[in-house]
Structure formats: C-alpha cells, structure tokens
Amino acid sequence: MIRHLARYELEMVRRDRRAWWPLLCLAGLVLLSFASVSLDAARGDGAKRAVAAAERARWVGQGEKDPHSAAHYSIFAFKPSPALAGLDPGVGPFVGQSVWLEAHHQNDMLYRPQQDASLLQRAGLANPAALILGFAPLIVFLLAFIVVAQDRERGTMRLALGAAVHPAAIIRAKTLAIWGAATALLIVPVALGGAVLAAIGGQLDLDVLARLVLWVGLMSAYLALLAAIGIVVALRARDARIALAMLFGLWIVLALVLPRAASGAADTLRPLESSQAVRQRILDETPAYWSAEDSKRHKAALLARHGVDRIEDIPNPRMAELDMVERHSHEVFDRVLGGFYGQVIGQDRLFATFGLLSPTIAAQSLSASLTGSDFSHHHDFIITAEHYRRDLVNRMNADGMAHSAQGDARHTSDARLWSQIPAFAYAAPVLGRASATVLPALAALLAWLGGAWLVLGVTARRLKP
C-alpha cells in the first residue's frame, strides 16, 4: 500500500510546477557542475601526466654529475585527481597539486587550482556536493510545504486522513515521494556519470565502486532525513504561512549558518600554527647554510660515527656529512611538519563532530572522505612523496659515500644511476585507510537520521483527521 501511495504522491509532486521546476533547475545545475569539475580534473590530470613524463626524461638525461647535485636537481611529483573528484573535489582546489623533491628540503606543495577558479568556483558553489548539501534542503523543504502544509490549508489532508485505514501510511508515503524525487534527480544522474567517467579512465575498481555506492547512500540518507524534518515541521506548524517561515529558517540555520559557525569554532578551539612559523622552526633546526660551529660539530659526529681519528680516514667525508645532515632533517620534518599535519587532521575531526549540530556538517565531512578528497587523503600523498624524496636522496648520497673523494675531488655518476631510480607513482589509499573524520561524522549523521524518522513516526501516529 505504501508503494502505491508513494507513487500517487510522487505524481502529485510532479504535477505541481511550483516545486517541480525548482527541483529540476537544481538537478540541472548539479549536472552542469559535475561536468565542469570532471572536465577540469581530466584536463589537469592530462597536463600532469605530460609534465611528469618530461620530468622523468629530464632526470634520466641530466648527464654526468655529482650524485648529491643530482639530488638537488631532482624532479617534481604530481598528485593525480581522485577518481570521484567530479562529485566532490573537497580540499583539492585549495591545496597544491605538485611538489619539488630535492635534498634537505620537504617543500610545500605548489599550484592550487583555486588560483585559476571562476567566480562561481571561488564562491564554493561549483561542485555537485556543495550544491546538494547547500540547496537540497531548501528544495526538499519546499516540497514538504506543498504536499503537507497546503493540503492542510485546503482541507484535503483532513479528508484523506479520515478516509484512510492507516493515516500514518499517508504521511510516510508523502515523505518517501519527496525523498524519491530528490534522490532520483539530484543523486542518481551524477553518480552514474561518476561511474561512467571512472570506467572510461580505467579507474573503476572495487575500491572506487564501494566509495561511489557509499556516497550515493550518504546523500540519499541526507535527503531522507531532510524530507522527514520537512514533513514534521509542516505537520506541526499552526498554519501554512508559519510552516513556510519555519522551513525557510531551518534551511538558513542548518545549511548556511551552522557550517560556517562550526568552522569558526574549530579554528578557535584548535587554532593552527601559521605556515610561516612552521617553516621558520624548520629553518632554525635544519639551517640551509652551516656556520663554523656547525661544521665543527658535524666533524666530531662524523669521526664518532665512523670510528676514526682523522676526517681523511673517511672515504668521502663531504658526502658523509651531507648524508648525516639529510638524515637529521628527516627527524625534524617528522616532528615539526608531522605535528602540524596532525593539528589539521584534529581540527577536521572536531569540525566533523559538530555534525551533531547540523546534518549538513556531517554530510560534508563524509562526502569528502568517501570521494577521497579530504585532507586525510591529501596528507597521504604528502607522506608518499616525502618517502620517495628520502629514498632518492639517500640513494644518491649512498653512491657518493661508496666512492672515495677527498678535498675538492668529486665522484660523479651518470644515467646508469639515474635510471635505477623508479619513476614516481602514486596510488590513493583504499577506503578506510585515510578517514580521520568518518567516525564522528557518521555517528552524527546516523543520529540525525534516526532522530528525524523517529519524530516523523511519532507525529504520524498522533495525527487525527
């Protein structure tokens, strides 16, 4: 019976142009944004692959030189776009897409796509997830107002409830009709588009498929709880005008005000150290230039490490000193930068916890995590690139230390060594391996979903014709 009632309510919604056209317009905008973001990601990835190939050729063809100089010559590493970036680019537009890998430095990532963003992209409204999270509540609440509040105003609701054997079934059918229409038009088309593009790009493996299915489930759950909230408010309001005002106010508070307030609160409660201060701490502990005191301290450390009394007894003292300083910098990078990245992840986790205040916050955190575009996934790329840099530099230094060179003499290597370094390749973490914000956001969203449908059930059972 519920299925037939829901189908009937869906047909009523479709015939009412006041709600149907806004829903169609938002669906069209979501599709256009999906196409735009996907096209930008495809163009960016194509450019990255071309430059990465040129970088590899430049590395292998750099000619004969001191291997430590080769480590400074080094290469760029490029971060590929997540397979589902077209659904939710997350932090992608605001973080760098490439990093220069060189000896002694863990450099900041370069090129933020937001630098070349259009006006709509700079406003944060040019991707499907942002549009659905921000404007679907308004459309769903408008649908709830039309199918419930106006029916009550006209008296048709009372007639329907009086004639029904199970009045609560009518309310559940209205809710399902709103949820079904919103899901079918806002979620399904872009999800199918994401699957097709991932398949065309050869990225549709089990992990991407699981992420896509869970993203569809997340957004469907978000729309379901919004439909339940809209129906409950429309049923409990004294009249249609109050219902409309309450629903409009709820949209502003839940989707616009609270996410921004939560972001500000997270910044206040867990402030981040400025990037300039972080870089200064690194420079203080791993200086780019050595003083006479530094060289004297390095010499003593080298003699102790190699168990000799004279620096000349070390086969390649210059390279040994460079290697020792390089390995010291690793500890500093792990401690200073690792601590900073931990603070960022902690701030993201706190923001996800604020999902208890608004389902939009919880869904926003989960969406970026499921599409692999949150900071946890970006951090995984940073760590992978840094491990590659350290392996490369250590390999160059090891080659130098294996050959004797005293004073101003220099050992040199050529393409036979450069070609032994594998090309940089990055594979994004599988689902669940980089998901710092999932648990608090998921708990918050389930609480909202359960609470909304519980209140809807209670409200429906207490209805009287």
Q: What pLDDT does residue 460 have?
A: 81
Specify the pLDDT at position 403: 87
pLDDT value, residue 465? 60
**DSSP secondary structure letters along 75-144:** EEEEPPPPTTTTT--TTGGGS-SEEEEETTEEPPPB--GGGG--HHHHTT-SSHHHHHHHHHHHHHHHHH
pLDDT at position 162 is 65
Number of domains, the chain: 1
The burial class, CB within 10 Å (0-12 / 13-18 / 19+), for 374 is buried
pLDDT at position 372: 93
Domain that holds residue 136: 1-405+414-462
Write down the pLDDT at residue 92: 86
Q: What is the pLDDT of residue 306?
A: 83
Whole-number pLDDT of residue 288:
65
Q: What are phi and psi of 110, to 5 degrees?
A: -110, 165
Question: Across the beta sheet with 105-106, what order do the strands follow?
Answer: 75-78, 98-102, 105-106
Q: Identify the pLDDT of residue 350.
A: 94
| 219 backbone dihedrals φ, ψ, rounded to 5° | -65, -35
pLDDT string in tens for the chain (465-residue length): 677 777 877 787 777 777 788 999 999 999 999 998 999 899 999 999 999 999 999 999 999 999 999 998 889 999 999 999 999 999 888 888 999 999 888 988 888 877 776 666 665 557 999 999 999 999 999 999 988 876 777 777 666 666 666 667 888 888 999 999 999 999 999 999 999 999 998 889 999 999 999 999 999 999 999 999 999 998 888 888 898 999 999 999 999 999 999 999 999 999 998 888 998 998 888 776 677 777 788 888 888 888 888 888 888 888 888 898 888 899 999 999 999 999 999 999 999 999 999 999 999 999 999 999 999 999 999 999 999 999 999 999 999 998 888 877 888 899 999 999 999 999 999 987 767 778 899 999 999 999 999 999 888 887 766
pLDDT at 161: 66
pLDDT value of position 399? 92
Extract the tokens encoding 244: 């409309």
Largest CA distance in the chain: 102
CB distance 139 to 182 below 8 Å = yes
Report pLDDT for 125.
Answer: 55
